[in-house]
Structure 1
Amino acid sequence: MDLVRSFRWTAERYPHRRAVGGRHPMTYAQWDERTDRLAGALTRLGVRPGDHVALLLAGGEPLASLHLAVQKTGAISVPLSTRFSADDVGYCLRDCSPALLITDSTTDPTVAGIAELPVRAHSGAALDAPERVTPLARLLDSPAPKHQPAEGDTSVMLYTSGTTGRPKGVPRRHSAEHAAAVAHLIQTQHRTGEVALGVMPMFHTMGMRALLASIVAAGTWVPQEKFDAEESLELITEEDVSALYLVPTAYWSLVHTGRLAEAKSVRRLAYAGASMTPALAERLDAELSPEVFVNHFGSTEIYTFTIGPDVRRKPGCAGRAGVFSRVRLVSPAEGASPDDVVAPGEPGQVAVSLESPEAFSGYWHRPDADAKSLRAGWYFTGDLATEDEDGDLWVAGRVDDMINSGGENIYPEDIEDALVRCPAVAEIVVAGLPDDRWGSAVTAFVVPSAGHRPEETLAQLESYAREHSGLPSLKRPKRYLAVAGIPKSAVGKILRRELTAGHYRQLAQLVPGGERA
């Protein structure tokens, strides 16, 4: 199934159903007509089937409509991260050679910072409302193109920020995008007509999945251009949002408003992008009592690895392979084969079969990345996990994040889960820093809770780790750093590499048995 056919069929079935919520609502018939007009305008601007069309917009309905319009032209949508620097945007544009770049007022300054722009750019500064689409307005009377994409055609290319180096392009076929949307609906138990908050950015697989799943299920997608916890709560209550799909940091922000219990319409929770601590899962369960609470573990390359279907029963558990997935735990050694399966209970790297209909087939112009991650029909994710006695997976972090301290392998997330309950801590991230004695010293980067001084926070946390965490001495941090903030990606993923590279503002330091600074 291709996305154009899927969208049109939903519009035929439910032409008068509310498709888009928020400030500028549309029915499916209206959204189909609007994206037809945008597709005609793009064609008049020279976009042809197979071209790349780069989209650098803040988000919300304008970006969603343009993405769908690009599908109708037979071209390939390339939504770029608004967190990218001018240098990164320039790199991506040179890498994919788009026929057109569309921006808005929030991203025009970034584009202006690119020394030699390799593409025609059109500013969509007034794309904030369906009735205001200048400078494309003069072209909106153009007829919609008649092109019908094949399910094997490329629909979208998402650029992953990666852990090192330049962003990597991940081309995804129409069939893979549709299969991922169907998997999302099944795995999160979405109903026909579900009302979902569309706040995760569409340059990320989570935001794209929320949009397309809503269309397949003939639901209402409620756009929010940029996450703001207070605004999210207003949208949830005003629109009767019933399903949330967010990263854990966003859920924490909602909890910290003190108003989450007002979101009485929410019945389905799902999270992805990072691990969720049991403490946060317990708070969400207590305040919302959701009917469904799901942990989705996957990536841009293959949307679903595993699904933890009952966060209430097993907080933090990544569960088993998704409905269209096949998963193995293999040796984390470099160059391991998919047949090098680890023994039960041992940590291994997560490998996922490329036979999944949700899978990509390789990176864009990156044979080096293909050689590292794709072997013998399997995608090597770089994630570490262990399997419990029930056959469920527990993610222990990234292969690159594992700390070898004193000759022992230590997983940062085990320590974070144990220490985050300390009331003096707002956020905590554990990483390894070079150390003469330990080789790599377990280091806790801590953001103090409101009202706690940095030095006080570190003293309380060190005491908590020693007396209440249950951590053995080997796993207890050898160094505590109070910092002004934790570096995160555009979708809230914690960037440990930024911390280990020294990119943080230190407020205080405590070395157990040593000195405070």
Structure 2
Amino acid sequence: MDLGTVLSWTAERYPARRAVGGELSMTYAEWDAHTNRLARALAALGVGHGDRVVFLLAGGEPMASLHLAAQKLGAVSVPLSFRFGVDELAYCLSDAAPTLLVTDESTVEAACQALERTEPVPHAHVGDGVPPGGAALLDLAADQTENALDVQVRDSDTSVMLYTSGTTGKPKGVPRTHSAEFHASLAHLHQSRSAPFETTLGVMPMFHTMGLRTLLSSVVSAGTWVPQVRFDAERSLELITRERVSALYLVPTIYWSLLGTGRLGETGVRKLAYAGAAMTPALAEALVDALEPEVFVNHFGSTEIYTFTVGPDVAAKPGCAGRPGVFTRVRLVDPHPQAGPDALVGAGEQGQIAISMESPEAFSGYWNRPDADAKSIRDGWYFPGDLAVADEDGDLWVSGRVDDMINSGGENIYPDEIENALIRCPEVADVVVVGMPDDRWGQAVTAFFVPAVGRTPDTAAAALSEYIRSGSGLPRLKRPKRVVAVAEIPKSAVGKILRRELVDGRFSPLAELSPASTGSRK
């Protein structure tokens, strides 16, 4: 089913239901008409069926409405991260070769700089300050009729192309069909146990699969989607409370920030889901204490295949990735980078995850990247590079990534277990463990951490060192040989840790202690 039809049919069923929350709210009938006008405006600017249109906007309702308008036109929506630098923007614009670029006030300067390094692209703008030669998109849309377009969109047509931020290398384009996006939304509703007419917070960016899933699942289920352009904990709490948000789907870093206000427990939210990065048991326990949620789901997946596995009860099994999703097949195979899908590991053994490309949620390959296809797709299975172990119940526990493994003195060590131990130290607000080049050990286990509020870097480093020796429960093999206090852990837009920046030395230490100070020699 194509996504433009999904919106129109929901509007037919529930025309007066509130579709968009917040100050500029719309009913489904109003949103359907608004997106029809936007689709006609895009068409007037030369966008046709199958054309790619880049949306470089801060987010919120304008981005959501333009994405849905592109679906009705049969165009390919290409939402780019507003956090990209000029070089990344120029690369993605050249790679996507769009028919049109759409910006807003927050992105137009960077976009114009990027356009100086690419082939010319027609430019439209949302809001004030239309650049020279650009078109005022909303003014153009206001002059259009609100009637549905006569465009035949197939569910096999490409709906969206998301660029993965990745942790190394250039962003990769991931084309996804209407069918894949629709099935992913159905899976999300089922797996997160969402009810019809759920109200959810739309704060995750729509250049990421989580942001799109929140939006589209709300449309499928006739829910109310409450936009927030950029995350601010106090503003989020205000929206959650005022709009009576009943379900949240967020990354762990945002949950930490909401908990930090001390008022999350007053909101009455009863359904929680998270994805995008691992959640420590400490955070899971804090959320359970604050909210006593009816539903608490760990969604493990990717841009390429939305669902890998789902942990349906985080309260009972904090950190557990669970079992394959409703549309998914998963195997654990030999961790060797070139292992095939039939090289299954034994019971209880660590293996790398492989997901069947037969899933209706799956992409079919990267945009213009046969090298990436060759690395990640083998014999009809997708290999994301994640490692996991299945417990006695058959549930998966993600144990790291193939690329994150630390080889110290000939022993393979994975960071997750160490990080989960160190985050429980009261002097630590955030922590990541990497293998730093070392003449003696090959790679030395190194902990980079952010001191807790009110702790100086020196005292926090000393306290963490003592905790490693006497309170962490870590064997000597896994104890960090160096602890480094930093102002922040480098992360992508959705909270993925950028370990490579630390390994490459791109950090400024606030304090650090030597191996002798941590007592972590083998």
The residue aligned with 1:142 is: 144
2:5 matches 1:5: yes
Moved more, 24-33 or 434-443: 434-443
For 1:417 and 1:477, the matched residues in 2 are separated by: 13
Aligned match of 1:459 in 452, 458, 462?
462
The residue aligned with 1:396 is: 399
> 1:324 touches 1:358 (CA, 8 Å); kept in 2?
yes
Superposition pairs of residues 37-52 of structure 1, within 5 angstroms:
37-52=37-52
For 1:51 and 1:181, the matched residues in 2 are separated by: 24
Superposition pairs of residues 302-381 of structure 1, within 5 angstroms:
302-381=305-384
Gaps of 5+ in 2: 130-134
* SS across alignment from 1:113: helix
Match for 2:6: what amino acid? Answer: S
The residue aligned with 1:278 is: 281
The residue aligned with 1:62 is: 62
* SS across alignment from 2:273: strand
1:252-281 CA distances to partner (integer Å, 9 max, x unpaired)? 0111111111211x1100000111111110
1:139-161 CA distances to partner (integer Å, 9 max, x unpaired)? 43334531131000000000001
The residue aligned with 2:29 is: 29
> 2:127 touches 2:138 (CA, 8 Å); kept in 1?
no
* SS across alignment from 1:464: helix
Superposition deviation, residue 410 in structure 1: 1.0
Aligned match of 1:472 in 472, 475, 485?
475
Match for 1:283: what amino acid? Answer: A
Superposition deviation, residue 2 in structure 1: 1.1
The residue aligned with 1:434 is: 437
For 2:394 and 2:306, the matched residues in 1 are separated by: 21
Match for 2:261: what amino acid? Answer: T
The residue aligned with 1:497 is: 500
Moved more, 223-232 or 139-148: 139-148
> 1:7 touches 1:215 (CA, 8 Å); kept in 2?
yes
2:241 matches 1:233: no
> 1:154 touches 1:174 (CA, 8 Å); kept in 2?
yes
Moved more, 470-479 or 161-170: 161-170
For 2:503 and 2:256, the matched residues in 1 are separated by: 24
For 1:367 and 1:134, the matched residues in 2 are separated by: 38
> 2:481 touches 2:518 (CA, 8 Å); kept in 1?
no
* SS across alignment from 2:431: strand
The residue aligned with 2:78 is: 78
The residue aligned with 2:122 is: 120
For 2:293 and 2:500, the matched residues in 1 are separated by: 35
The residue aligned with 1:257 is: 261
Match for 2:99: what amino acid? Answer: A
Superposition deviation, residue 125 in structure 1: 2.4
* SS across alignment from 1:294: strand
For 2:175 and 2:498, the matched residues in 1 are separated by: 24
Superposition deviation, residue 499 in structure 1: 1.2
* SS across alignment from 2:163: strand
2:111 matches 1:108: no
> 1:383 touches 1:399 (CA, 8 Å); kept in 2?
yes
The residue aligned with 2:226 is: 222
Superposition deviation, residue 334 in structure 1: 2.1
Moved more, 6-15 or 136-145: 136-145
For 1:138 and 1:475, the matched residues in 2 are separated by: 61
For 2:305 and 2:28, the matched residues in 1 are separated by: 29
> 2:332 touches 2:353 (CA, 8 Å); kept in 1?
yes
Superposition deviation, residue 117 in structure 1: 4.2
> 1:428 touches 1:446 (CA, 8 Å); kept in 2?
yes
For 1:329 and 1:466, the matched residues in 2 are separated by: 34
Superposition deviation, residue 512 in structure 1: 3.4
The residue aligned with 1:293 is: 296
2:167 matches 1:166: no
The residue aligned with 2:184 is: 180
1:171-210 CA distances to partner (integer Å, 9 max, x unpaired)? 0000000000000000000000000000000000000000
Moved more, 109-118 or 24-33: 109-118
The residue aligned with 2:132 is: none
For 2:435 and 2:117, the matched residues in 1 are separated by: 40
The residue aligned with 2:203 is: 199
Match for 1:121: what amino acid? Answer: H
Superposition deviation, residue 404 in structure 1: 1.0
Match for 2:13: what amino acid? Answer: R
> 1:40 touches 1:141 (CA, 8 Å); kept in 2?
no
Change in CA separation of 1:436 and 1:194 when aligned onto 2, cut-off 3 Å = same
Aligned match of 1:416 in 416, 419, 436?
419
Change in CA separation of 1:392 and 1:515 when aligned onto 2, cut-off 3 Å = closer
* SS across alignment from 1:67: helix
For 2:149 and 2:118, the matched residues in 1 are separated by: 28
* SS across alignment from 2:489: coil
Identity of matched residues, %: 65
> 1:197 touches 1:222 (CA, 8 Å); kept in 2?
yes
The residue aligned with 1:155 is: 159
Superposition deviation, residue 112 in structure 1: 2.2
Superposition deviation, residue 229 in structure 1: 0.8
1:29-88 CA distances to partner (integer Å, 9 max, x unpaired)? 000000000001111111110000000000000000000001111110000011111111
> 1:43 touches 1:145 (CA, 8 Å); kept in 2?
no
> 2:312 touches 2:322 (CA, 8 Å); kept in 1?
yes
Runs of 4+ in structure 1 off by over 3 angstroms are 133-136
* SS across alignment from 1:444: strand
1:332-351 CA distances to partner (integer Å, 9 max, x unpaired)? 11211100011111111110
The alignment's TM-score, normalised by the length of structure 2, stands at 0.96
> 2:320 touches 2:397 (CA, 8 Å); kept in 1?
yes
Match for 1:11: what amino acid? Answer: A
For 1:274 and 1:218, the matched residues in 2 are separated by: 28
* SS across alignment from 1:293: strand
> 1:44 touches 1:139 (CA, 8 Å); kept in 2?
no
For 2:439 and 2:156, the matched residues in 1 are separated by: 54
For 2:97 and 2:400, the matched residues in 1 are separated by: 35
The alignment's TM-score, normalised by the length of structure 1, stands at 0.97
> 2:465 touches 2:517 (CA, 8 Å); kept in 1?
no
* SS across alignment from 2:497: coil
Superposition deviation, residue 454 in structure 1: 0.8
The residue aligned with 1:14 is: 14
Superposition CA RMSD, Å: 1.4
1:278-303 CA distances to partner (integer Å, 9 max, x unpaired)? 11101100111110000000000000
For 1:148 and 1:87, the matched residues in 2 are separated by: 36
Superposition deviation, residue 135 in structure 1: 4.0
The residue aligned with 1:130 is: none
Superposition deviation, residue 136 in structure 1: 3.3
